[in-house]
Structure 1
Amino acid sequence: MFTERVASSGEIFFDRFCLNLSERLLTLDDQPVEIGGRALDILIQLACNPDAVLSKADIMDSVWPDITVEESTLRFHMSNLRKALGDGVNGARLIVTVAGRGYRFVVPVRSAVTPVARVGTDVTASHLLPPRISQYIGRRDGIHELSNKLISSRFVTIIGPGGVGKTTLALAVAHEMLEPFVGRVLFLDLGMLDDPSMVPTSLASTLGIAVRSIDPTPSLVTFLRNQRILLVLDNCEHVVESVAAVTTEIFNATPQVYLLTTSREALRVAGESVFKLDPLEVPPDGAQMTAEDALAFPAAQLFMERAKATGARIEHTRDAAGLVSAICRKLDGVALAIELAAGRVEALGLRQTAELLDQHLSLSWPGRRSAPGRQRTLQATLDWSYELLSPMERVILRCVAVFSGHFTLDGAIGVAPREIAAGLVIEALENLVGKSMVASRQLNGATRYRLLATTRAYVIALKGDPVAGRNLSRRHAEYCIGWLENNALAGVALRETSARARYLDSLNDVRSALEWCFGQSGDQPAGIRLAARAAPIFLGLSLLGDCYKWCGTAIRALGTQESGSPDEMHLQAAFGLSVMFTRGSNDDAREALNRSLAIAEKQNDIRSQLQLLAPLTMYHLRIGDFRTAIELGRNASRLSKFVNDPGTEALAHSIIGISLTHTGDLAGARAELEAAHQNPSPILDPAAIYLGFDGHDLAGIFLAKTLWLQGFADRARSCADETISDAFEKDHPVTLSIALIWAISLYIAMEDVKVAQELLDQFTARAELHSLEPYLAAARAYRGLLAVRSGNAGSGVPMLTSALADLHAAKYELFTTTFTIALARGVAEIGSNDEALTVLGEAIAGVTASGDVSHMPDLLRAKGNLLMKGGYHEEAVEECLSEAITWSREQGAVISELAATIDLATLRQQRGVSGVRTMLQSVYLRLSEGFENPLVRQAERLLARLP
């Protein structure tokens, strides 16, 4: 590392500063700078590792090795350091904070590096090097690491794909080595050679050696035997055998000669150390960061520097930084590709440059005229690499280019022509990795491969045999079907966040295969099989748009052979669910779910029937058909007796329990929900049709609601908190949204508005992200409800009115009664009490007709309060409140009974009626917990005033 290299001289220079390590002295223009000891320690760490991101933990471990300090301590000393350096004054930037990662020392540094060994020649001795590049963006760490590797091993090859920056890095190291080698550094570009046999001759000629034999290698070795020199051989890939032979001879026979070579593949000779050069680091996708943080990434820095050099002006705004970041990601951080794209900004503008890359990755944009011909366009660079491949390597490269992202060795074998043996595929793939045409990385102990976007675009653009192309697409589709059957278990995708990331990556291939299958020259039967196997995964990952599109496409393509098959059953179920979640409970959703259930019944597939009864129950609950929902729940209970499986039994308990909550049978609902919630595993069967959500969490939030209504506030809160925590941990969008929408209602009922508001914000964000339109309407309605509660009926009523209209249109009636009660209260506040009573009257008639009588206590209580506010006869008010109490008792809803009893007791106290205390106390004494709840405290205050 750099710290080791500067230790010999003990001085680092940057800007107008000098940092003397041995004396622990910082000077500015030769004048000492006052700086604290800890701040100086931090500066030493940063200055010794310029351009590298040092994490806060690493800095604290180094500066405070024997004690534990808080991050605030580091921030304090970092602030003092910045003041001492004048960082930020007049735009000066020396230290940059990289969000979520640490700190980066960004000012160029100079150090007095002690030569490894000096000979008599002066440092100004002539050398054969191209000019020094002024900036090595993002490669400072690589320069130091490679310099150390070269000094220690004497023979290093830089490998990497075309355009990644191998020559630039080699030149940077060569210039760094001028002083240690006293100017004796020679640079030879072999890219112009066509004849491999000319490699030793060209090297001899550059060294000024007269060649008098057919093989000049012996003369080279003799000349170099007592020389201390660094030989840099650039672009060796097309003459790799010849370079390997001559460098082996030189390395073995000349102990003071150092060799630095660049190639797209290793030379694979004894003594060689390989330095793999990766693309520049790009800003991560989806990360929330400032423009400054995003543009601090090396790839973005290079883009900005090259764009500025062409005269383009890019403002440092968040939008611009987002476009630059997207361009860099699209180009995989490949330096040449970034430079070429940046060169278009002055003419096209930043946004259009990004759009053109999205539409078509341009391989023909010209670069600098001074660059070698093979590097003036990406096309030329890739032509150069492609021509160096063997016929078999070209075939396999064309095959694996069908993958849109990462792929495995099995995937490569799966898409290769059947007549090519697996061993030959493996060998060709290994060679492609070695030649930097395919990238590889280890993930969870397995190797995964991918083509850089530029390489893939190049291969796809190559003209080939149309029949071979169709056969490749068919093999790719069959591979995707097999992958889904063998690996893509929905249960895993639901519960493990890390596994979901892998599925999301592989689903890009599933999408491209589906596009081909249902295209003009595709294979529709294969597309139907593929869509049916992808459907549970689309649901499991809440990719509802994909599910709707491809299941609908496959259903329309069904023929007689597929009609009534398990594939159609899966497609109809997934299509119905995706419609219900994204477009509402319309006829398309009902018909698809019923069709799927009919197929399951015909095939006597009990598990699939149970899986389907859950979304069908939800469908009927959503449209307010509670009687049908209860019947479906009873049907699920009967079916569960035929399946000896705890998860399936729990699913049946969950279905019937949720249905019973709406009928007001809280005791029955609680028994069913507790039976469902006792099973800690997700209520699903990966072998059957997937629900699209985790029924375990759904049962949990309904159990919390039931406990609350029964008067067990503490247990309800604990159950709700646990369920929400579990849903957040799974981070499954639909499961979390379902849990949140009910939890918001529960926390509002418990008068914890702060938590309800926080959950509402998160619920809205997820509904927007996944286009869950009915949930977005519910989110707006909740905001209107909270506005009315806070006394802002003027803004709350329009929100509620609009949202309720959308919910009715989507046939999403689960929460409309709750929102209607809030609307009535809001309408009454802004002056129309009679209109509010009309609204409540219609709602009461609606729940009576639908059977959703669980809302009756709240509706009657709200009506009683409006009658009281409107000056109606006290007997009418008492009748409403008494009826609310009766409904509450019948349902076992102690909390609802307490709320209505408080209102009735207050009214009777004002009228001087006796027995009020006894009436209220009889309800209060039935509570065994939840005494911190505002409603319970209200009852206690009232009891304290009553005689």
Structure 2
Amino acid sequence: MGQIEIGLFEHSGWELDLEKRELRAMGAPVPLGSRAFEILETLAVSSGRIVTKDELMKRVWPGMVVEENTLQVHISAIRRALGKDRDLLRTVSGRGYRLLGEWTEPEKRFADPTPATLVRSSEREGFVTNIPSAASELIGRQAAISHIVTLMSAYRLVTLTGPGGIGKTVLASEVARRLQPTIDGDAFFVELVSLSDPNLVPTTLAQALDLRLQSDDVSAELVARAIGNRKMLLLIDNCEHVVDAAAEMIEAMLRACPNVSVLATSRELLRIEGEFTYRVPPLDVPANEKAGDPLTHSAVQLFVARTRALQSDFRTSGDSVSTIAGICRHLDGIPLAIEFAAARAATLGLQQIAGRLDDRFVLLTGGRRTALPRHRTLRAALDWSYELLPEGERRLLCSLSVYPAGFTLEAAMAASGEDEEETALGLSNLVTKSLVTFDGTEAAPRWRLLETVRVYSLEKLGGGTDYQMTMRRTAAFFLSLFRPFSSEDSLQLAIDGLGRYRREIDNLRAALTWALSSEGDGKLGAGLAAVASDFWIATSLVSESGEWAKKALSCLEGEEGGRTELVLQCALGFAMIYTQGMSEQGRTVLARALTLAETLGDQDYQQRVTCALWLFSARSVELDDALVYAQEYEKRAGGGDARSRATAAWMSGIPQTYQAHHVEAHDRLDWAARNSPSNNRRTDMLRLGADIPTSSMAHNTVNLISLGRLEAASQAAEDSVDEARATKQPFVFCVALAWASAFVSLSLDNEARARQWGEELTAHALQHGLKPFYAVGICVRGSLASRSGSPAEGIHALRAGIRDMQESSYLLFYPFFMCELAAALQAAGRLDEALLEIDRAQKFSVEKSYRWIVPELLRKKGEIIAAQDVDETLVVDLFREAGRRASAQGGLYWELTAGMTYAEYLTSRGDLGAAQEILRPVYQRFREGFSSPRLLRAKTLLDTKQ
């Protein structure tokens, strides 16, 4: 590239001194890193022309491979240095950069273009350094090292910040070692940790640099003048406890010493001109137990490396690695804490460490003997930062510790009891001191404490008056925040903004736990539990809604009979239906809720509780009661709008389905599915405990199968599962899966679909604590086992599932799976037991008017007796009665099933003609479903030649 001109460029108060390699604003030096200065120099001598990115990289990094983002870092540094005149440096899209303005021509002097900072190691002989050697391998910091090295060539001051134990000193030392071969000067490590008097900062620096100062009063300016034009890199460590003096010293050097670059470490920003702050992040931890291979994460790698250094035979396995990942996650990826944990694991074992992390400040001590005293225990590391805080910031930090899930500014104000201005200022200071972490976005700002800092601060808050006052303020804050969930008018808006509330789940739990404890405020807690009851349902936490409601009802403290009790009783009743089934206690809870709703004249909750009592009756197969509640709902709702009419049709159609009024039930459920308004669908799920469209489709499959519309039934099952899955509501999804896997897939002999949906049902119900649906899933599994040749396994699963159904009084599937159990017992040759189960199912169906399944029970009974080969007349009578019952109910499919079994029985006795005569008229009435297994069997028999 040849030689470049050296001189002085000037423009609008700016001076670019190429000889002193200094940028000045109105005569005052502006800190700028060496390579950033060379970029600016190259642009200045180009007299306003565009300089391409390639030209700049070849000029500033000759012979080196440099990524484009490195150039961008330096461009940003120049713009930052130019301040309000940052637009002088213009990016020309796709081409390069140019420096705008009329800059004066330089004096014609020349110099070698080789960058002054790129010096071969052989030329460094005679330079002084006291940068410590690495004590061990630095794990997980390679990207950070590369980035900071780049920053050091763009800025003259880079400050590494972060909480105690994050590894600032170790990282800075490694960066300094990497930079040593590239600087044409000395490199010094200056440790400030031992200073108790800030006035000693200049003296400490002078001693470290071996400056000969002829003065009794060593000041920052004197030290800076003594350094002068010497080229050097300074690593100034642990500035936070003397931050003002350290900032004054560094600022004086940046102003007076153009060839000095500073890498500082501090838990608090220095806040001086030209400072670039790099927040040292925690080590990488697995986000959760399912986040791939834990050994690819740096925190886990550090734990394993440190443990092996103390226990050479330490080995990792699947379980141990998962445990280590959990420990590292619990310790926020903080290297110091992980090293302590590894040291303890080497002597106590992994499980001891994992089980005692709640007492981390007692457990996590030790580390290297050569470590600083404040790095020998986890508590000491945090004590150092805490004791440097002014009293107001200590109080704020402690109050923020009650938020395990982070917090907004409003939440911080609530916890502290201070106004917005004071809270915001204190919060900002805690962020700069690395005790609070920004954890949101510009649009939704949010902050949090690392868990270790939070546990420490919560311990400092204590359990006395300050803690009680803080928790009372936060509980009151969440009472206000979640209030939109308690009003029908604002419920939809709250659901639409659910993400905002979802972030507060752990904070809400903490507030409720305190308020409903013996030390809390029961009245406040009951109000909060009531306000948040619909929130828990909206977030698919049905069981938790019930748990909080139950605790809150015992803490009403004179508030019995009011709306708070009404809401809690309703929430508890709904939760009990879905998690425990139809227990007598649940009925009592709902009856109390209805009495309260009527007494208070609350129309919304009258409808809610009526629907809950209907749901209770329908699922316990009290079908006549369910129809009464359906009529009561329709009367309470007035029957005016589409929403009320669709709900009433759904409530009437379901009991009619199981009473075998298939045509009328189908029409009602089909209408409800198609006409239920979509605009209030999510709120209706909370109010009614069901999703009208998916529930209507799921139940209607029973009518469609019975009416012989087999393809329509299969499609309705598919649609209901897809629709329910989209709602992301566990109880809605389980309803669709239960009907699709059992009534549809098993009835149509589609074992593959039954297995897929049944396993998904079992897993989903187990995950969300929905015991009745889990019982259905277990029964599906048992039916499939028996049908695939393992009747003993099937019997065991079916008995277990049926037992759970009985215990929870969830009986809609009871006769169906009793019939499946009888089939499994028949397959196992246990015919007497099979008949006993069929008789029980028949008795139940008669008592409950559960008529749709009766034809199938009669058919199955005839089949079992035929296997006993004792009474042919009884067998024939049962098959014929099954067909007559099915025909009377309009149950074409069950008529075919009964006729098919009867025909096969006659065929086995050599009477094929009679068999075909019975089967043909039934088969000919079908209009779809010809590829289903039972219709294929019928066609095969009908096509058999006599």
TM-score (norm 1): 0.82
Q: Please give the alpha-carbon distance, in whole angstroms, between the structure 2 residues aligned to 1:465 and 1:757.
A: 53
**Is 1:255–2:258 an aligned residue pair?**
yes
Match of 1:620 among 617, 622, 636: 617
Aligned 1:548-587 pairs, distance under 5 A: 548-560=546-558, 562-587=559-584
- State the shift of 1:242 in Å: 2.0
Residue in structure 2 matched with residue 345 of structure 1 by the alignment: 345
The verdict on how the C-alpha distance between 1:415 and 1:692 changes in structure 2, with shifts beyond 3 A counting, is: farther
Q: What per-residue deviation string (whole Å, max 9, x for no partner) do you get for residues 668-715 of structure 1?
A: 222222222223638757499644554432223223343233222222
Residue in structure 1 matched with residue 169 of structure 2 by the alignment: 167
Aligned to 1:406, the other structure's residue is in SS state coil
**Is 1:284–2:287 an aligned residue pair?**
yes
Aligned 1:507-656 pairs, distance under 5 A: 507-560=505-558, 562-642=559-639, 644=641, 646-656=642-652
Q: Please give the alpha-carbon distance, in whole angstroms, between the structure 1 residues aligned to 2:888 and 2:158.
A: 84
Residue in structure 2 matched with residue 744 of structure 1 by the alignment: 741
Between the two proteins, what is the percent identity of the paired residues?
30
**8 A Cα contact 1:916 1:946, kept in partner:** no
Number of residue equivalences: 834
- State the shift of 1:856 in Å: 0.9
Aligned to 1:462, the other structure's residue is in SS state helix
Q: Please give the alpha-carbon distance, in whole angstroms, between the structure 1 residues aligned to 2:229 and 2:218.
A: 21
Q: Please give the alpha-carbon distance, in whole angstroms, between the structure 1 residues aligned to 2:928 and 2:731.
A: 33
Residue in structure 1 matched with residue 448 of structure 2 by the alignment: 450
- State the shift of 1:180 in Å: 0.9
What is the identity, as a one-letter code, of the residue corresponding to 2:673? H
What is the identity, as a one-letter code, of the residue corresponding to 2:574? L
What is the identity, as a one-letter code, of the residue corresponding to 1:651? T
**8 A Cα contact 1:114 1:180, kept in partner:** no
- State the shift of 1:614 in Å: 3.1
Q: Please give the alpha-carbon distance, in whole angstroms, between the structure 2 residues aligned to 1:590 and 1:548.
A: 14
Aligned to 1:927, the other structure's residue is in SS state coil
Aligned to 1:177, the other structure's residue is in SS state helix
The verdict on how the C-alpha distance between 1:886 and 1:637 changes in structure 2, with shifts beyond 3 A counting, is: farther
Q: What per-residue deviation string (whole Å, max 9, x for no partner) do you get for residues 231-250 of structure 1?
A: 11111112222222222232
**8 A Cα contact 2:879 2:901, kept in partner:** yes
The verdict on how the C-alpha distance between 1:564 and 1:199 changes in structure 2, with shifts beyond 3 A counting, is: same
Match of 1:718 among 715, 734, 750: 715
Aligned to 1:861, the other structure's residue is in SS state helix
Residue in structure 2 matched with residue 662 of structure 1 by the alignment: 658
Q: Please give the alpha-carbon distance, in whole angstroms, between the structure 1 residues aligned to 2:679 and 2:628.
A: 24
Match of 1:145 among 147, 153, 159: 147
Aligned to 2:131, the other structure's residue is in SS state coil
Report the aligned-residue RMSD: 3.2
Q: What per-residue deviation string (whole Å, max 9, x for no partner) do you get for residues 141-195 of structure 1?
A: 1111111111122321111111111111101101111211257221111111222
Aligned to 1:232, the other structure's residue is in SS state strand
- State the shift of 1:357 in Å: 0.5
Residue in structure 2 matched with residue 377 of structure 1 by the alignment: 377
Q: Please give the alpha-carbon distance, in whole angstroms, between the structure 2 residues aligned to 1:114 and 1:912.
A: 108
**Is 1:236–2:235 an aligned residue pair?**
no
Q: Please give the alpha-carbon distance, in whole angstroms, between the structure 1 residues aligned to 2:230 and 2:389.
A: 37
- State the shift of 1:939 in Å: 2.3
- State the shift of 1:369 in Å: 1.9
The verdict on how the C-alpha distance between 1:731 and 1:314 changes in structure 2, with shifts beyond 3 A counting, is: farther
Residue in structure 1 matched with residue 133 of structure 2 by the alignment: 131
- State the shift of 1:344 in Å: 0.9
Q: Please give the alpha-carbon distance, in whole angstroms, between the structure 1 residues aligned to 2:323 and 2:634.
A: 54
Residue in structure 1 matched with residue 31 of structure 2 by the alignment: none
**8 A Cα contact 1:783 1:799, kept in partner:** yes
**Is 1:266–2:263 an aligned residue pair?**
no
Q: Please give the alpha-carbon distance, in whole angstroms, between the structure 2 residues aligned to 1:761 and 1:482.
A: 41
Structure whose CA Rg is larger: 2
**8 A Cα contact 1:201 1:211, kept in partner:** no
What is the identity, as a one-letter code, of the residue corresponding to 2:712? R
- State the shift of 1:447 in Å: 1.2
- State the shift of 1:812 in Å: 2.2
Residue in structure 2 matched with residue 203 of structure 1 by the alignment: 205
- State the shift of 1:114 in Å: 12
Extract unaligned runs of 5+ from structure 1.
5-43, 50-112
Aligned to 1:191, the other structure's residue is in SS state coil
Aligned to 1:259, the other structure's residue is in SS state strand
**More off after superposition, 844-853 vs 697-706:** 697-706
- State the shift of 1:766 in Å: 2.3
Residue in structure 2 matched with residue 912 of structure 1 by the alignment: 911
Aligned to 1:179, the other structure's residue is in SS state helix
Q: Please give the alpha-carbon distance, in whole angstroms, between the structure 2 residues aligned to 1:444 and 1:873.
A: 81
Q: Please give the alpha-carbon distance, in whole angstroms, between the structure 2 residues aligned to 1:45 and 1:578.
A: 61
Q: What per-residue deviation string (whole Å, max 9, x for no partner) do you get for residues 642-690 of structure 1?
A: 563x444433332222222111112222222222222363875749964
Residue in structure 2 matched with residue 863 of structure 1 by the alignment: 861
Q: What per-residue deviation string (whole Å, max 9, x for no partner) do you get for residues 595-622 of structure 1?
A: 1122223333333232223332232233
What is the identity, as a one-letter code, of the residue corresponding to 1:572? Q
Extract unaligned runs of 5+ from structure 2.
1-34, 36-64, 71-114
**8 A Cα contact 1:236 1:243, kept in partner:** yes
Match of 2:183 among 181, 187, 195: 181
- State the shift of 1:582 in Å: 2.9
**8 A Cα contact 1:363 1:458, kept in partner:** no
What is the identity, as a one-letter code, of the residue corresponding to 2:663? A
Q: Please give the alpha-carbon distance, in whole angstroms, between the structure 2 residues aligned to 1:341 and 1:519.
A: 33
- State the shift of 1:282 in Å: 0.8
Q: Please give the alpha-carbon distance, in whole angstroms, between the structure 1 residues aligned to 2:812 and 2:512.
A: 36
- State the shift of 1:400 in Å: 1.2
**8 A Cα contact 1:540 1:692, kept in partner:** no
**8 A Cα contact 1:283 1:325, kept in partner:** yes
Match of 1:893 among 891, 894, 918: 891
What is the identity, as a one-letter code, of the residue corresponding to 1:944? D
Q: Please give the alpha-carbon distance, in whole angstroms, between the structure 1 residues aligned to 2:170 and 2:183.
A: 19
What is the identity, as a one-letter code, of the residue corresponding to 1:523? D
Q: Please give the alpha-carbon distance, in whole angstroms, between the structure 1 residues aligned to 2:262 and 2:488.
A: 53
Residue in structure 2 matched with residue 706 of structure 1 by the alignment: 703
**8 A Cα contact 1:863 1:880, kept in partner:** yes
What is the identity, as a one-letter code, of the residue corresponding to 2:655? S
**8 A Cα contact 2:396 2:416, kept in partner:** yes
- State the shift of 1:572 in Å: 0.9
Q: Please give the alpha-carbon distance, in whole angstroms, between the structure 1 residues aligned to 2:462 and 2:436.
A: 20
The verdict on how the C-alpha distance between 1:327 and 1:861 changes in structure 2, with shifts beyond 3 A counting, is: same
The verdict on how the C-alpha distance between 1:776 and 1:280 changes in structure 2, with shifts beyond 3 A counting, is: same
Q: Please give the alpha-carbon distance, in whole angstroms, between the structure 1 residues aligned to 2:281 and 2:784.
A: 53
**8 A Cα contact 1:204 1:216, kept in partner:** no
Residue in structure 2 matched with residue 316 of structure 1 by the alignment: 316
- State the shift of 1:223 in Å: 4.1
Aligned 1:189-228 pairs, distance under 5 A: 189-213=191-215, 214-228=217-231
The verdict on how the C-alpha distance between 1:592 and 1:464 changes in structure 2, with shifts beyond 3 A counting, is: closer
Q: Please give the alpha-carbon distance, in whole angstroms, between the structure 2 residues aligned to 1:828 and 1:120.
A: 92
- State the shift of 1:350 in Å: 0.7
Residue in structure 1 matched with residue 927 of structure 2 by the alignment: 928
What is the identity, as a one-letter code, of the residue corresponding to 1:635? E
Aligned to 2:604, the other structure's residue is in SS state helix
The verdict on how the C-alpha distance between 1:490 and 1:505 changes in structure 2, with shifts beyond 3 A counting, is: farther
Q: Please give the alpha-carbon distance, in whole angstroms, between the structure 2 residues aligned to 1:492 and 1:795.
A: 51
- State the shift of 1:423 in Å: 1.0
- State the shift of 1:797 in Å: 1.9
**8 A Cα contact 2:399 2:461, kept in partner:** no
The verdict on how the C-alpha distance between 1:320 and 1:489 changes in structure 2, with shifts beyond 3 A counting, is: farther
Residue in structure 2 matched with residue 807 of structure 1 by the alignment: 805
Aligned to 2:926, the other structure's residue is in SS state coil
What is the identity, as a one-letter code, of the residue corresponding to 2:767? L
- State the shift of 1:306 in Å: 1.6
**8 A Cα contact 1:129 1:186, kept in partner:** yes
**8 A Cα contact 2:344 2:364, kept in partner:** no
